[in-house]
Structure 1
Amino acid sequence: MSSIRRFFSAIGEGFVGVWRNKSMSVASIVSICSMLLILGGITFGVFVANNIVEDMKTKVDQIDVILTPEVTSERIAKIKEELQKIENVKEVNYVSKEQALAKMKEQWKENSFLLEGMESALPESFELKVENIENSNAVASSIYNVKDVEKVVYYKDIVDKIAKVSEMVKYVGITLVAVLLMVSFFIMSITIKLTVIARRKEISIKKYIGATNMSITGPFIVEGMLLGIIGAGISFTIIFFIYKYIYKSFAWGVGNIFSNYLLPVDVFGIYVAIAYFAISIGIGVLASIFSSRKYMKV
C-alpha cells in the first residue's frame, strides 16, 4: 500500500515541479521539440534519398535509347541489330508506345486513368543492358552514332550524385542531432537541478529520517518524463501532419511517382511515435538522474 502511495506521490510532485519552473520547463520542451523536428526532417530526407538510390541502382546497368518520332517499323528492326553489335551490350529490348504507357500506368497507380489515350505522345525506345557499369559512357557514345536515335539516357552519374548527397545529408544530420541531443539534455538537466536546489532542505530531512534514494529521485524522474512526453507529443503532432500533407500532395498526378519512395502515413506515424517518445523520455529520465544524484548524499 505504501509503495502505491509513494508512486502516486511521486507523480504529483513531478507535476508540481514542472509547474513551479514554468520558464525552464518551456525551454526544455522547446529544445526537445526542435531536436525532434530536425531529427524527423533529416531522417525523412535520408530515407527518401536512400530509396531513390536503391531504385536507381536497379537501372544503373540500363541505357534507354529514345528513337525519333518519324522512325518506321522496318528501321526499328535494323536499329535493334545495330545496337546488338555494339561492344559491351548484353541485352537489347524493344519498348513500344503501348508498353511505355503500361509502365507509366503502373507507376501512377490509382491515377493512371489520367494517361488514357497518351500512347501517341510517347516515343518508341530500346532498353539496353550493359556488361559492366564502367562501360556505360563508351556504349552511350556508340549509340549516338546510330541513325534515328534522338536521345540516350542512363543513370550512372545520377546515382553517384544522389549517393553523395545522401551520405552528406546523413553525416550532417547525425552531427546536428548529436548537438541537439546534448543541448536538450543540458537544458532539461538545469530545469531538474533548479527544482532539486529549491527542495534541498526537504531532501536532507527525508534522507535523515531514512527515505531511500529512489523515493526522493522519483518525483524528479517523473518531471523529466513529463517534459519529454510533452515535447514528443507536440513535435509528433507537427511532423505527422506535415508528412500527411506532403504525402497527399504527392499522391496525385506526376507527384505520384515520388510517393512511391514514401512510407504510408500510418506506418510513418507508428515509427515516428515510437522513436520520438523513446528518445524524449530517455533524455528526461537520464537528465533527472544526472541532476539529482549529487543531492542524494547528506
Structure 2
Amino acid sequence: MKILSNFIYNLKQGLNGLVKNKTMSLISVISVSSALIILGIIITIVLNINQFIEVTKDQVNEVKVSVVDNLDESQSKEVKEILEKIEGVKTVTYKSKEDSFNSMKEDWGDDGYLLEGIKNPLDDTYTVTLKDSDNIDTVAKEIETVVNVKEVKYHQDIIKNFLNLSNTVKKFGGILIIALLLICLIIISNTIKSRVYSKKEEIEIIKYVGASNGFVVSPFIVEGFIIGLLGSVLSVAVCTSMYGYMVEKISGALSNMMGNMVVPLNSISISLILILFATGIAIGVLGSIVSVRKHLKV
C-alpha cells in the first residue's frame, strides 16, 4: 500500500512540474522527439543498406558474361570451356536470352504484360561463379579477353560503395546523435532545474527532517521520465508513419523486381520502437538526476 501511495505521490508531483513549466516542458519534449526522429531515420537507412547487401551478397562473387549474337553450338561450348579454365572460377552456367527474357517477365509480375510484343533486347549469358570474390577484378579482366565475349558485368563496386555509405552514415549519424542527445540532456536538465530551484527550500527542509535521497529525487525523475516518454511517443509516430509511406511508394515503384531490398515496416517497427523508447526515457531520467543531485547535499 505504501509503495502505491508513493507512486501516486511521485506521479502527481511529476505531472504538476510539467504543468507549472509548460513552455520549458514543451521545448524539452520537442527536442527529445527531434533527436529521436533523426536517430530513427539513421537506423532505417543503415538497416536498409544492410538489407541490400544481404540480398545482393550472393551476387558479389558472380560475373555476368554476355556473348555476341548468333553463336553456334561449338562456339558457345568453346567459350564455356575457356571460362572454366580461368584460375579462380568455380562454376560456369549458361542462360539463353529467351530464358532471361521469360525470367524478366516473371520478375515483373502483374506488369509482365508490358513486355509482350517487344523484341528481346537481351544477350545469351554465362554466369561465372568465383571461388573468392576478392579476385573478381582480375578474373573479370581475363574474361574480357576471351573471343566472342561481348560484355562483362559484376557488382563488387556497388557493394563496396554501399558498405562505405553504411559506415559513413553510422559514423556521421553517431556523432550527430550524440550531439543532439547532449543538447536534449542540457535542455531537460534546465527544465528540471527550474523546478528544483522553486522547491529548493522545501527540499532542504524535508532533507533536514530525515527524508531519503530517493524520496526527494523521485518526483523529478518521474517528470524527466514523462518528458522522455512523450518525446519517444511522438518520434515513434512520426518515424513509423514516414517510413510506412516511403516503403509503400518505393515498393509500388519497384513492383516485384526489387521489393525485397526494402525492409518491411513490420520487420523494422519493433526494433525502432524499443530503441527510441529506451533512448528517450533514458535521456529524460538522466537529465533529471543530473539536475537534482547537487541539491541533495544539505
Q: Report the secondary structure of 1:167's partner residue.
A: helix
Distance 2:185 2:19 in 1: 19
The answer to whether the aligner puts 1:71 opposite 2:70 as a matched pair is yes
Q: Comparing 85-94 with 181-190, which one deviates more in the overlay?
A: 85-94
Distance 2:141 2:295 in 1: 74
> What is the 5 A alignment of 1:91-106?
91-97=91-97, 99-101=99-101, 104=104
Per-residue CA distance 1:61-96 (angstroms, 9 max, x = gap) = 21001234x434524344323433444333110123
Distance 1:102 1:222 in 2: 62
Q: Comparing 184-193 with 129-138, which one deviates more in the overlay?
A: 129-138
Q: Comparing 281-290 with 114-123, which one deviates more in the overlay?
A: 114-123
Amino acid of the residue matched to residue 187 of structure 1?
A: I
Q: Report the secondary structure of 1:250's partner residue.
A: helix
- 1:43 maps to what in 2? 43
> What is the 5 A alignment of 1:163-182?
163-182=163-182
CA apart distance, 1:256: 4.3
Distance 1:78 1:91 in 2: 15
Structure 1's unaligned 5+ residue stretches are none
The answer to whether the aligner puts 1:26 opposite 2:18 as a matched pair is no
Q: Comparing 157-166 with 278-287, which one deviates more in the overlay?
A: 157-166
Per-residue CA distance 1:80-130 (angstroms, 9 max, x = gap) = 234334443331101234543565567x5xx61222584844432110023
Amino acid of the residue matched to residue 158 of structure 1?
A: I
Distance 2:258 2:246 in 1: 11
> What is the 5 A alignment of 1:72-151?
72=71, 74=73, 75-97=75-97, 99-101=99-101, 104=104, 108=107, 112-116=109-113, 118=115, 120-151=120-151
Distance 1:233 1:58 in 2: 39
Distance 1:88 1:218 in 2: 66
Q: Do the aligned partners of 2:51 and 2:263 also contact (CA within 8 Å) in 1?
A: no
From the superposition, tell whether residues 239 and 10 of structure 1 become closer, same or farther in structure 2 (CA, over 3 Å): same
Q: Comparing 90-99 with 22-31, which one deviates more in the overlay?
A: 90-99
Distance 1:138 1:8 in 2: 71
From the superposition, tell whether residues 15 and 257 of structure 1 become closer, same or farther in structure 2 (CA, over 3 Å): farther
Distance 1:71 1:252 in 2: 37
Amino acid of the residue matched to residue 45 of structure 2?
A: G
- 2:283 maps to what in 1? 283
Amino acid of the residue matched to residue 71 of structure 1?
A: N
RMSD value, Cα? 2.4
From the superposition, tell whether residues 78 and 118 of structure 1 become closer, same or farther in structure 2 (CA, over 3 Å): farther
Q: Report the secondary structure of 2:191's partner residue.
A: helix
Structure 2's unaligned 5+ residue stretches are none
Q: Do the aligned partners of 1:62 and 1:130 also contact (CA within 8 Å) in 2?
A: yes
With normalisation by structure 2, the TM-score equals 0.88
Q: Comparing 273-282 with 155-164, which one deviates more in the overlay?
A: 155-164
CA apart distance, 1:56: 3.4
Q: Report the secondary structure of 1:252's partner residue.
A: helix
Q: How many residues align?
A: 294
Of all paired residues, the percent bearing the same amino acid is 34
Q: Do the aligned partners of 1:250 and 1:256 also contact (CA within 8 Å) in 2?
A: no
Q: Do the aligned partners of 1:88 and 1:130 also contact (CA within 8 Å) in 2?
A: yes
Q: Do the aligned partners of 1:62 and 1:129 also contact (CA within 8 Å) in 2?
A: yes
Distance 1:73 1:243 in 2: 51
From the superposition, tell whether residues 113 and 67 of structure 1 become closer, same or farther in structure 2 (CA, over 3 Å): farther
Q: Report the secondary structure of 2:38's partner residue.
A: helix
CA apart distance, 1:252: 2.3
- 2:191 maps to what in 1? 191
Q: Comparing 156-165 with 220-229, which one deviates more in the overlay?
A: 156-165
Distance 2:91 2:20 in 1: 73
Q: Report the secondary structure of 1:288's partner residue.
A: helix
With normalisation by structure 1, the TM-score equals 0.88
